[in-house]
């Protein structure tokens, strides 16, 4: 979830370190899985991951819950 990165005003060195590690991890990843179009867009625009490395995969309900 990118909400804490996009919407929260975070201060302090610990939060800066956490954001740095999160961003660095996403930038170093071979592929990034996004669970929605909004997350895919945020990862691309806010973090700077190239679109070719982002895969959007929607969550699917377990077949046991099918009608």
Q: Tell me, what's the pLDDT at 31?
A: 97
The percent of residues in the chain predicted with pLDDT above 90, rounded, is: 39
Half-sphere exposure of 5 (CA within 13 A, CB side): 18
**Position 67 pLDDT exceeds 90:** no
What's the predicted TM-score (pTM) here? Answer: 0.71
Is 54 within 8 Å of 32 (Cβ atoms)?
A: yes
State pLDDT tens for residues 32-56. Answer: 999 989 889 999 998 999 999 999 9
The residue ranges of every structural domain in the chain are: 3-65
């Amino acid at each position: 979830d990118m909400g804490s990165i996009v919407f929260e005003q975070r201060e302090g060195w610990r939060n800066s370190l956490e954001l740095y590690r999160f961003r660095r991890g996403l930038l170093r990843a071979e592929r990034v899985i996004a669970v929605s179009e909004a997350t895919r867009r945020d990862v691309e625009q806010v973090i700077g991951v190239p679109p070719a490395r982002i895969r959007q995969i929607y969550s699917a309900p377990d077949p046991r819950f099918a009608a």
